[in-house]
Structure 1
Amino acid sequence: MHHKLLKKTSFAALFTLILFSGCNRGTTEEAGGEKLVIGATMLSMQNEFIVNIADEMQKKADELGVELVSVDAERSALKQVEQVESFIAQGVDAIILNPCEVEASSAAVQKAKAANIPIINVNSATSATPTAFVGSDDVESGRIAMKHIAEKLGGKGNVFIIHGYMGQAAQLQRDKGAKEVLKNYPNIKLVAEQTGEWDRAKAMSLTENWIQSHGDKINAIFAHNDEMGMGAVKALENANLNDKVVVVSIDAIADAVQAVEKGRLDATVFQNAQEQGGKAIQTAVKIAKGEPYEKEVMVPFKLITQANVAEIAK
């Protein structure tokens, strides 16, 4: 087990002991009220977008006066399931799961439900149905991106798609949305599509290969995330083709927002990490308190171009 995690867990275990001695499962008497305890396991704290969600969760927990115990699954579904087991043993009031994998993280959902502890998925899906889901519909992000490309191309041209990891929820859904839009544009030709595995360097070398094979026949590139979009932009700039090719990607990470401001990237699709994090905590608190809640909270995506980039530019 990780040292940092060990410290966190032992602190949480200590905290739970105090709770249990008060004969009050998962709550502690504080200022005449009960303080709820929420456990959260996050996909990876190396990922900027996930960190933004986690930060907002902490803010909202502080604001609502609940105790949030957050741990990092470090991309391991196995570790994530163990973390959820630990939360169950500690008798937390609710668990927030930011799943590492659709299938492998499903065991965590099943275990929490078997223990009668509400589990809320944030940002990403599992095949097992959680108590509630807070996130965004990735199909919509793919539609928004491809629609913008189609409009910029005036309904005709050659488009290339850089996929995320094949088989991951975001890759499947973003692809589905993009292809739905392409069906309506018979004069836009999908020339090639390949995975860049969410990675900037891989997307850059993939784009270099396409430039060698297709040259100025490339009219647009849709990348499933901004890391890959930025890799494509770099390859196009090196070949002096960036002004001729429409590049659109998804997430609105800081680099991409800056690139949109400067006109290097045509557009990014903003996924609202702040709202996802805040609403995950709000939903967890509602369920823990036995209040009515929405089983699915969908946070809308938004197209960011040079025209409206100022709204989200830090």
Structure 2
Amino acid sequence: MKKLLTVLLTTAIVSSLAACGQSSTGTTQGTLPSASAAATDNTSSENGNPDESYAKSETVTAEAKKISKIGVSINATSNENNRAMFELAQQEIEAHGYECIATNADGVISKQAQDIENLITQGCDALILINADKDSTTTLVQQAKDAGIIVVTYAGGFIKGTDMHYELNNFKVSSEMFMILAAEMGFEGNIIQCYDPTSGACRMRRNAQDAILKEYSAITTVNEFATIYPGTVADTATKTEAALLANPEADAIWGVEDLVALGALQACEALGRDDVIMVGIDGEQDVLKHIYEGAKQIKATAIGDNATGMAGCVDNIEKFAAGEDVALYQEIPYTVITTANIADYYTPQ
């Protein structure tokens, strides 16, 4: 009798366990797939979570975009740095096998806005906006985004809605340049400040100036004026000459780019003021020549590596189109040029 009860009890337990292992549809739960099933499913990942890998694959497929035509818009090519950016953008786009539509607004803000609108309607898959004015283009950037167009801003300041923003670290580069200039002054003296308030890059550089001047209080601003672009050199020369005549005690011109430095230098030469010093940013050939010949007044400049910047720009457009993660801020590398390394960057003609 005891043996019979034991057998009946064992059978009941086994049946109960089997029932617990069945779902309402009759399939077995809580079992791992076989090795062959996992291999066929092709959803395994390096972190051992097949669900995450599968989701990532689906996301890339869903976000992937076809690129065939890229538009380039620039505000003006009135200086060497801008021309280099414009030409390199076209070269890189074509080298990657895409059609390129390039427009130059010749310094007219409203024309660049119209250029961008035209590029959108022409069916560009991506846009590279060089030195675009944010106030007149923010709506257009959103219009491009709504049309599924990848938007890259290159130099000139960030515009809301942009997928990638390429820029010199203007706070960093201008801090380096104006620390060089402050040291040349012995961290004291009188200066004239000038910059283009319509340019994002120039505004950032002016902000860096002001941060330095806040710390080195023995440097005093005796005059300041706004410059324009295009026409920066001639405009700066005229305004600097007037500022120096009104403030002959000035020791330095704190401008924010090479074109300003060249205009200031012209004014100094016209007035016979070879004691006034300055720096630049952009690596214009006339500035490099001046530094090569001894940097008597223009003490330094900085050159952005736009070849590397533009190559990376088009590469990242491809990655973004494929659904890959791409950082929003992309720093354009640069080199500070003084008499110590000028021979590597300038060859006398």
Query: Is the contact made by 2:233 and 2:260 (CA closer than 8 Å) also made in structure 1?
Result: yes
User: CA 1:196 to 1:76, structure 2 compared with 1: closer, same or farther past 3 Å?
Assistant: closer
Q: Give the match for residue 266 of structure 1.
A: 299
Indicate which of 178, 190, 199 corresponds to 1:158: 190
Q: Give the match for residue 194 of structure 1.
A: 225
Q: Give the match for residue 285 of structure 1.
A: 318
Secondary structure of 2:223 counterpart: strand
Q: Is it true that 1:128 corresponds to 2:154 in the alignment?
A: no
Q: Give the match for residue 299 of structure 1.
A: 332
User: CA 1:78 to 1:26, structure 2 compared with 1: closer, same or farther past 3 Å?
Assistant: farther
Counterpart code for 2:119: F
Which structure: greater strand fraction?
1
Query: Is the contact made by 1:163 and 1:171 (CA closer than 8 Å) also made in structure 2?
Result: yes
Counterpart code for 2:314: I
Indicate which of 44, 47, 70 corresponds to 1:38: 70
Query: Is the contact made by 1:160 and 1:222 (CA closer than 8 Å) also made in structure 2?
Result: yes
Indicate which of 275, 278, 287 corresponds to 2:308: 275
Work out the number of aligned pairs and report it. 280
Residues 83-104 of structure 1 show CA distances to partners (whole Å, capped at 9, x for unaligned) of: 3344333433211122431210
Secondary structure of 2:120 counterpart: helix
Q: Report how far residue 267 of structure 1 moved.
A: 1.4
Counterpart code for 2:345: I
User: CA 1:159 to 1:287, structure 2 compared with 1: closer, same or farther past 3 Å?
Assistant: same
Q: Is it true that 1:224 corresponds to 2:256 in the alignment?
A: yes
Query: Is the contact made by 1:92 and 1:117 (CA closer than 8 Å) also made in structure 2?
Result: yes
In 2, the alpha carbon distance for the partners of 1:86 and 1:65 equals: 22
Residues 65-94 of structure 1 show CA distances to partners (whole Å, capped at 9, x for unaligned) of: 333222223334444344334433343321
Residues 9-36 of structure 1 show CA distances to partners (whole Å, capped at 9, x for unaligned) of: xxxxxxxxxxxxxxxx996xxxxxxx73
Residues 231-286 of structure 1 show CA distances to partners (whole Å, capped at 9, x for unaligned) of: 111222233322x2221122111111111112242112223333332222222222
Counterpart code for 1:97: L
Alpha-carbon RMSD across the aligned residues, in angstroms, is: 2.3
User: CA 1:167 to 1:89, structure 2 compared with 1: closer, same or farther past 3 Å?
Assistant: closer
Query: Is the contact made by 1:105 and 1:126 (CA closer than 8 Å) also made in structure 2?
Result: no
Q: Give the match for residue 240 of structure 1.
A: 272
In 2, the alpha carbon distance for the partners of 1:168 and 1:240 equals: 31
Counterpart code for 1:197: I
User: CA 1:211 to 1:99, structure 2 compared with 1: closer, same or farther past 3 Å?
Assistant: closer
Q: Is it true that 1:117 corresponds to 2:149 in the alignment?
A: yes
Q: Percent identity?
A: 22
Q: Report how far residue 306 of structure 1 moved.
A: 1.4
In 2, the alpha carbon distance for the partners of 1:77 and 1:197 equals: 12
In 2, the alpha carbon distance for the partners of 1:127 and 1:55 equals: 22
Query: Is the contact made by 1:158 and 1:218 (CA closer than 8 Å) also made in structure 2?
Result: yes
Counterpart code for 1:147: M
Q: Give the match for residue 67 of structure 1.
A: 99
Query: Is the contact made by 1:77 and 1:105 (CA closer than 8 Å) also made in structure 2?
Result: no
Bigger RCO (CA 8 Å, 6+ sep): 1
Query: Is the contact made by 2:188 and 2:219 (CA closer than 8 Å) also made in structure 1?
Result: yes
Alignment of 1:4-153 (within 5 A): 36-153=68-185
Residues 24-75 of structure 1 show CA distances to partners (whole Å, capped at 9, x for unaligned) of: x996xxxxxxx73212222224443222012212332243333322222333
In structure 1, runs of 5+ residues without a counterpart are: 1-24, 28-34
Counterpart code for 2:203: L
In structure 2, runs of 5+ residues without a counterpart are: 1-63
